[in-house]
């Protein structure tokens, strides 16, 4: 997730039916590369019992020369379905979150893994300490799962004497994660298995960069790439002077948020889909043209544009005019419910918070992240040190700022954009399929930014059908809402079936 995440405190209820670990880690020390911790358990997914092996450990990142010493240890948690006769036909999926600086906890314990943090059906915050429960919509019936924590996140660390900054950049990160995937694939004997990537937020940036890197440098072809709440082109998100694009691309997400909180009137009402569709049509035509006029937008035309923008966003015409008909995300989060003394969330604008100081121009915190940070943090730590039997005194870095400043490489005087990496991957491998999942109430990576990027890949018309885009009635982490978690699983199952074709199967 881009510079953000979610959830609060949790206690693990009940014990997994685990077997003895292959090797017990030394207390107060992380388990080493040579001695991963292995347990076995089972989970019921879609009414079927799936027995699995969980492996927790690290793999070394080092130069490809004889005798090279590790430059970093990358932490991972892997789940493998037991009883598979032909592992070459069993898909494997590598998953990670974003930030930069986020661990993989959100996808792991929110949607994909065999356990998940329990929230209310609509994503309501659990009472502390909450609890971890079996995930009835885990993706483990579709593929074996490997959750990766990039260097400086989770328990992944640079080696002693090594500067962690060498891993903190777009290209550096992709190289390190790509090396992890190569090494894991080799050690686990999975080169013959169909391979998938799944990323969320900046994790989609990583996934797009990796899709080309894995195929072009390692010859490791992919069957599918899943982009959850994506950002590939940062020009679609950065509210900078001279960059008017985000102001237009955010309007549909503003409209969805205003609709949810009952701030739309007249013709702008209807369903959330209706509100989004109308806002999208206006924002990418009349509004985009008006923004392009800059200071030339004056008089009656400026008044008209301001009134229309106000009607789509639920904000006052006066506020829109004071903002030069350009409303940034933090302004919107503060202003929409200012009259009620509330702010709306950035990761998921359905969430609100009460702030005492109504005079602040922007929110002092993200109510949606405040809702999720504690439950996920406690759940992950309890799960690792309990059922998964992994012992260490290291702090599990859920979402850290220790990776900054992030190095965007040659993206100087321009925005980082890995869309072309994805285009190259899909062009060189015409069987590669892409699933794009977007939440209507995501103000971190709004859906219109994702669709705009996909429509500007420059992809050959014959390959455009390989991209599937789906929408959900929640935010950045749409899987917190039960109906959307169910839908995401169904959409993913259909995607796997299409991507595998006759090249593999998720069922044995």
191 and 269 both lie in a single domain = no
Domain annotation covers residue 121: yes
Cα distances (Å, whole numbers) of residue 466 to 25, 146, 223, 417: 44, 24, 11, 20
pLDDT at 130: 64
Torsion of CA 112, 115, 119, 123, to 10 degrees: 0
Name the domain boundary from 333, 368, 403. 368
Domain annotation covers residue 375: no
CA gyration radius, the chain: 23
pLDDT at 171: 97
168 and 308 both lie in a single domain = no
The string of DSSP letters for 442-505 reads -SSS-HHHHHHHHTTS---GGGGGGEEEEEESS-TTGGGSHHHHHHHHHHHHHHHHHHHTTS--
Picking from 81, 84, 80, 105, the residue whose alpha carbon sits closest to that of residue 95 is 105
Name residues of the chain where pLDDT drops below 70: 1-34, 130, 267-268, 356, 502-508
59 and 207 both lie in a single domain = yes
> Encoding tokens for residue 420?
């072309």
- Predicted TM-score (pTM) of the model is 0.91
Domain annotation covers residue 1: no
How many domains does the chain contain in total? 2
pLDDT at 413: 81
pLDDT at 104: 98
Domain annotation covers residue 505: no
23 and 139 both lie in a single domain = yes
Phi, then psi, of 485 in degrees rounded to 5 = -65, -45
CATH number at residue 425: 3.40.50.1820
User: Three-state DSSP class for 146?
Assistant: strand
191 and 230 both lie in a single domain = yes
Domain annotation covers residue 6: no
Name the domain boundary from 313, 333, 368. 368
Domain annotation covers residue 5: no
Cα distances (Å, whole numbers) of residue 302 to 247, 265, 285, 324, 377: 15, 21, 15, 9, 47
324 and 303 both lie in a single domain = yes
Which domain range does residue 305 map to? 239-368
DSSP state of 129: T
Domain annotation covers residue 379: no
Domain annotation covers residue 135: yes
114 and 247 both lie in a single domain = no
Q: What residues pair up with 230 in beta bridges, in sequence order?
A: 201
pLDDT at 9: 29
407 and 444 both lie in a single domain = yes
Instruction: Count Cβ atoms below 10 Å from residue 120 Cβ, excluding itself.
Output: 11
221 and 249 both lie in a single domain = no
pLDDT at 7: 31
402 and 275 both lie in a single domain = no
439 and 343 both lie in a single domain = no
361 and 409 both lie in a single domain = no
């Amino acid at each position: 997730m881009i510079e953000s995440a979610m959830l609060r405190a949790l206690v693990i209820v009940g014990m997994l039916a685990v077997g003895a670990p292959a090797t017990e880690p030394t207390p107060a020390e992380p388990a080493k590369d040579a001695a991963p911790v292995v347990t076995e358990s089972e989970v019921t997914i879609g009414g079927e019992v799936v027995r699995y092996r969980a492996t927790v450990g690290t793999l070394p990142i080092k130069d490809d020369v004889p005798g090279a010493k590790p430059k970093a240890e990358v932490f991972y948690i892997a789940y493998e379905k037991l009883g598979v006769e032909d592992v070459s036909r069993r898909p494997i999926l590598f998953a990670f979150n974003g930030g930069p600086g986020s661990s993989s906890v959100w996808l792991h314990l929110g949607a994909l893994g065999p356990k998940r943090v329990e929230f209310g059906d609509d994503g309501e915050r659990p009472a502390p300490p909450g609890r971890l429960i079996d995930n009835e919509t885990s993706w483990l019936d579709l593929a074996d799962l490997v959750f990766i924590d990039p260097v400086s996140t989770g328990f992944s660390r640079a080696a002693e004497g090594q500067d962690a900054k060498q891993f903190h950049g777009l290209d550096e990160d992709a190289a390190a994660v790509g090396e992890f995937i190569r090494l894991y694939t080799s050690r686990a004997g999975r080169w013959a298995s169909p391979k998938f990537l799944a990323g969320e937020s900046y994790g989609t940036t990583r996934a797009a960069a990796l899709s080309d890197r894995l195929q072009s440098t390692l010859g490791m072809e992919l069957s599918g790439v899943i982009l959850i709440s994506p950002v590939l082109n940062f020009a679609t998100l950065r509210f900078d002077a001279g960059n008017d694009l985000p102001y237009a691309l955010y309007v549909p997400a503003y409209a969805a948020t205003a609709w949810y909180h009952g701030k739309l009137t007249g013709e702008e009402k209807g369903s959330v889909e209706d509100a989004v569709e109308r806002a999208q049509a206006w924002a990418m035509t009349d509004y985009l043209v008006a923004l392009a006029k800059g200071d030339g937008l004056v008089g009656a035309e400026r008044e008209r544009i301001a009134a229309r923008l106000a009607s789509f966003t639920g904000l006052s015409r006066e506020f829109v005019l004071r903002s030069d008909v350009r409303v940034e995300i933090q302004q919107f989060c503060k202003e929409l419910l200012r009259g009620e003394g509330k702010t709306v969330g950035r990761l998921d604008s359905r969430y609100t918070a009460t702030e005492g100081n109504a005079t602040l121009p922007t929110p002092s915190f993200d109510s949606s992240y405040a809702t999720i940070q504690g439950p996920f943090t406690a759940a992950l730590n309890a799960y690792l040190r309990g059922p998964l039997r992994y012992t260490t005194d290291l702090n599990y870095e859920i979402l850290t700022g220790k990776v900054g400043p992030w190095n965007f490489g040659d993206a100087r005087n321009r925005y980082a954009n890995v869309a072309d990496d994805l285009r190259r991957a899909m062009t060189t491998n015409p069987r590669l399929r892409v699933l794009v999942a977007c939440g209507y109430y995501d103000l971190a990576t709004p859906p219109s930014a994702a669709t705009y990027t996909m429509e500007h890949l420059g992809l050959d018309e014959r390959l455009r059908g390989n991209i599937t885009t789906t929408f959900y009635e929640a935010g950045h982490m749409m899987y917190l809402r039960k109906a959307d978690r169910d839908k995401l699983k169904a959409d993913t199952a259909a995607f796997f079936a299409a991507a595998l074709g006759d090249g593999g199967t998720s069922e044995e």
